[in-house]
Amino acid sequence: MSAPPEVESWIPLGRISGLYGVRGAVKVFSYTEDRDGILDYPVWYLGAMRQPYTVLAGTLQAGAVVANLAGVKDRELARTLIGQEIAIPAADLPPLPEGEYYWRDLIGLQVVNRESVLLGRVKNLLETGANDVLVVVDEAGAETLIPWTAEVTVDRVQRQIQVDWDKSW
């Protein structure tokens, strides 16, 4: 298999967590929202060296993903992969519909309120169940948690998110 592509960023999808059977199958701890969503990507890049492996087959087994990788034909070779991160180039992510965003694309954007007051920059996002939450850090390093609601608008050109939020909250 060829060397990994030169990319600006990699997206971690999971890690090899164990062995399955004696023919080289591996158990995978998937970070994707649907555990088996990791199987949507036909090539995984493993470890710090981003060694490419083609996914030959995969399935969900009792909540864990089990996969067969090209070139991994026995248990001992599969054992050498345990603990390795699975990543893909960011360019391999599917395009999203208008108005939807990958969290990674929101990190670092400026956050302003409706009065154009700068609230800070997006440090992270949290998933709460009710709605996602922006973790915004201001110039002094103070964090503000702002719920992602229908009133949030993203301007990719200006690299800015506008929220309905009063700075005094």
Q: What is the pLDDT of residue 3?
A: 53
Residue 1 has pLDDT above 60, yes or no: no
Write down the pTM of the prediction. 0.74
Q: How far is CA 148 from the centre of its chain?
A: 18
* Rounded Cα distance, 134 and 4, in Å: 33
pLDDT single digits (tens) 67-120: 999 999 999 999 999 999 999 999 899 998 988 888 888 999 999 999 999 999
pLDDT at 21 over 60: yes
CATH 2.30.30.240 fits 103-163, yes or no: yes
The HSE-up count of residue 105 (CA atoms within 13 Å, CB side) is 14
- Per-residue confidence (pLDDT) for residue 101, from 0 to 100: 87
Of 29-33, 137-141, 147-151, minimum mean pLDDT range: 147-151
The pLDDT mean for the chain works out to 90
Interval 57-78: pLDDT, tens: 999 988 789 999 999 999 999 9
The Cα–Cα gap between 66 and 160 comes to 40
Superfamily of domain 10-92: RimM (2.40.30.60)
Each domain of the chain, given as residue ranges in start order, spans: 10-92, 103-163
Residue 169 has pLDDT above 90, yes or no: no
